[in-house]
A and B are shown apart, each in its own frame.
Chain A
């Protein structure tokens, strides 16, 4: 009798859990890191993402009347924890995975087609995922690391020309940091510049004096950084200490946040960084988040969050997901969609100027349209510069070297597929 009661209890609990998780909510998982060496950046990412979806629940009652359930999982930016998080979402009908780490993305990429849940890595992850025909389940809107590196090189070209320039590339020794190196390898002989690599191991992120002594020895004309977390402010401080001219030091869009330069302040004046979103709180979408979420105190965000580089980017990440959910609902006619439906949404959303204005993002980001073939999108980046207290946009959008980037992406995608026997692809019209 006792056994029967226990069995029944377990069965009912399981049923309630499964049903409760599977229906009635739009489950948007998000892997975050609010602790560890990357926490400063990870926290702003997490807050912006969660706050935007919370705002939709508060203001609109969710999307098409269905509430959004955001489920955070702490990874500490560690790949093995990310895989654990991924597994914890199984069976709950997650609509899309946002790993917030290239290392984690590489670990779960092969699982997405099996589980029929897409992965959106906004401006990070595997660059080759831009090729929708090879990677039906992975998206890296609005641009990839390959494209970003070509945009940064175009910027350098516009300043000093690339020919005969020496470029130092300092990067976090990880899948993320190594991702754009093929671009340097391919373009150095083509444009006549030379480069050298400075890998920074995660454990040395706060101990870079040797790296910057090497910079002093090599005397590069330009430095490019692919850093994250505590590595960023440490690198800028080390550059200042070694008298490297900061206006010749360009970080990628994960190396140019307010959390990176804020504590350095005036001393960091001149440092540059790429980005694909504007800062500030003047945008209606940011205002709505402040009104419905931050000022009500239903958030982990302090008043310093909204308007900053990473927070605004995370809002944009969440908005793109919300738009894909809405698109999937409209196309399938279902309110409660699945991961498979979400994939359709991610290939068919339209965020043109008119829709961006409607959503309150006009002027903050560039328009983008979902596509079966192109999972990367427009791909442009612009350069901003730290003025001692805030980031200031100093260029218009710089398109990537599309012909070169696309050729490299196609090659990298084909290479990935050939290395993974039985890889799921798709054909696009």
Chain B
């Protein structure tokens, strides 16, 4: 009886009893969700272009953030540091295309996936060698990103809003809209979708596979930089950030590996869901629910809707 009460009555009574906490959870979940969606976007871009899950995407987030901080510490102004990181990522995209992807055109997807695993470990080693292992503070204030917070009084309590969180949500939404337009309205975007469907067919109609890959890896780097700035500002920049990056995996399963809107919807579902579930149902399960909630939901999708909410349904004829 206690268990049933704990599942069906207590959580809802708490939501009604403390509405300000409920709205706070929704807001915090929304912010986390947009940031999860942002990380997932990086994966979607590469997946659309090459049909491969880019295992290196989370470490690109760390690399971007650490490079930005390092340039700034060398005395480069904050926004010039951003430009330098973007140039660095363009160079990295070109190198990855030249040294890895070009050699693996038309190879099995598993081989491409393993190449991103190898790339991930190479970047981890190189980044630790160059930047050291010590966590650093993000330079968001120097970039002009607002900090501080305000309270919105509500039902005798209040909901706290951090300006940093608001900035993160706004930037994430702008980036997602821009990328959505880029994929649907530009020639490169359409070329990218053609490449994702079939490398050989895309090549046969004159689409430059190499150029597409460089652009896509560069854009994934841009997304990684934005993600690194906002996640880094919320805590610190350390190699542990890459672990958060893998939170994007269930987001992708839910939203679909090829869908930009799917990444954001999946991110929001996970972000809000895990907060609400942890606070109201977590105590029944000894807390720590947030760690597995996303994967539990993703497993449900894999069983009943494996292509995700917005993913392409693959029909193979015999």
Contacts and interface: CB of A to CB of B under 8 A. Distances in A.
A209 B28 contact: yes
Interface in A381-405: none
Contact of A210 (B241, B243, B278): B278
Interface residues of B, number: 39
A37 B160 contact: no
Contacts of B238: 36-37, 39-40, 206, 229-230
Interface in A242-275: 242-243, 263
A206 B240 contact: yes
Contacts of B234: 206, 237
B278 A203 contact: no
B244 A217 contact: no
Contact of A35 (B18, B239, B288): B239
A417 interface: no
B235 A233 contact: yes
A242 B287 CA distance: 19
Contact of B244 (A34, A199, A206, A229): A206
Given A230-B235, A241-B149, A203 B244 contact: yes
Most buried by B among A209, A214, A263: A209
Interface residues of A, number: 37
A204 interface: yes
Given A36-B239, A241-B149, A210 B290 contact: yes
B21 interface: yes
A36 B287 contact: no
Nearest to A198: B287
Given A201-B288, A204-B290, A216-B24, A210 B275 contact: yes
Given A198-B287, A241-B149, A242-B160, A205 B279 contact: no
Contact of B135 (A40, A203, A242): A40
Contact of B236 (A173, A217, A242, A263): A263
A43 interface: yes
B25 interface: yes
A241 B235 contact: no
Contacts of A196: 283, 287
B91 interface: no
A33 B135 CA distance: 13
A39 B235 contact: no
B53 interface: no
Contacts of B247: 207
Contact of B279 (A33, A37, A213): A213
Nearest to A300: B132
B146 interface: no
B236 to A, nearest CB: 6
Contacts of B133: 33-36, 39, 43
A237 B278 contact: no
A214 B244 contact: no
A212 to B, nearest CB: 9
Contacts of B317: none
B14 interface: yes
Most buried by B among A173, A198, A204, A206: A206
Interface string A195-227: 011111111111101110110110000000000
B230 to A, nearest CB: 12
Contacts of A277: none
A56 to B, nearest CB: 26
A214 B282 contact: yes
Nearest to A216: B21
A234 interface: yes
A40 B235 CA distance: 14
B55 interface: no
Nearest to A233: B236
Contact of B21 (A33, A217, A229, A241): A217
Contacts of B244: 203, 206-207
B135 A39 contact: yes
Interface in A12-59: 33-37, 39-40, 43
A222 B149 CA distance: 24
A217 B238 CA distance: 30
Most buried by B among A37, A197, A233, A243: A37
A68 B275 CA distance: 52
A199 B241 contact: no
Contacts of B137: 263
B256 to A, nearest CB: 24
Nearest to A197: B287
Given A217-B279, A233-B236, A234-B236, A39 B287 contact: no
Most buried by A among B21, B133, B137, B274: B133
Contacts of A213: 21, 24-25, 28, 275, 278-279
A218 B139 CA distance: 34
Interface string A58-86: 00000000000000000000000000000
Contacts of B142: none
Given A213-B24, A241-B149, A230 B236 contact: yes
A230 B239 CA distance: 10
B291 interface: yes
A128 to B, nearest CB: 24
A233 B134 CA distance: 13
A412 B291 CA distance: 30
Contacts of A198: 287
A36 B291 contact: no
Given A209-B28, A233-B235, 11 more contacts: A33-B133, A35-B132, A36-B238, A39-B135, A198-B287, A204-B290, A206-B231, A207-B32, A207-B247, A210-B278, A263-B137
8 contacts: A37-B238, A199-B286, A206-B231, A207-B32, A209-B275, A213-B28, A230-B238, A237-B234
The 7 closest A-B pairs by CB, nearest first: A35-B133, A37-B240, A39-B133, A206-B235, A210-B278, A203-B243, A234-B235
